[in-house]
Amino acid sequence: MNTRIMRWLLLLFALVVVSSALAQSGGDYELSWTTIDGGGGMSRGGAYSLTGTIGQPDAAWSSGGDYELLGGFWTGGPLCFVDFHHYARFAEWWRDSGPGLPADLDGDSDVDFDDLREFADLWLRCCPVGWQLK
């Protein structure tokens, strides 16, 4: 084979290899992740409510059955789940009556089995907004 043709083939091969390598590297690029969690306020529908605030970081948690959606960090410490600590606080007001009792979950100015039923419905779920038994 002619050396001139060999040089052209070698040059063509080098160009193919170099361009292939450049295509694989993709050059300079940046993958940035930015969110502004829009909103503010509460949305409600039936038994569900979703509260959001603009500027909260995306510290996501999702779930499946029986739904759960948590994200971001709000002031007030770690997540609150209705548990035995709250049950002990609930028991402090058991069978009391009067306005403004923290354990009066149904708002009828006494702490009775109706309040206990509501407490049981919240068991091991996220504390409602403004949870009095913290």
Query: CA quadruple 66, 70, 75, 81: dihedral positive or negative?
Result: positive
Instruction: Find the mean pLDDT for residues 32-53.
Output: 67
Instruction: Give the model's confidence band at 10: pLDDT under 50 very low, under 70 low, under 90 confident, else very high.
Output: confident
Average pLDDT over residues 21-46: 62
List the end-to-end C-alpha distance of the chain, in Å, as a whole number. 88
Q: Is the predicted pLDDT of residue 31 greater than 60, yes or no?
A: no
Token digits of residue 4? 């001139």
What domains lie within the chain, and their CATH numbers? 80-134 (1.10.1330)
Helices (H) and strands (E) in the chain, counts: 3, 4
Mean pLDDT of 26-49: 65
Alpha helix (H) ranges present in the chain? 3-25, 84-92, 113-122
The model's pTM? 0.45
Q: What is the pLDDT of residues 62-103, one digit of tens each?
A: 677 766 666 655 544 456 788 999 999 999 999 999 999 999
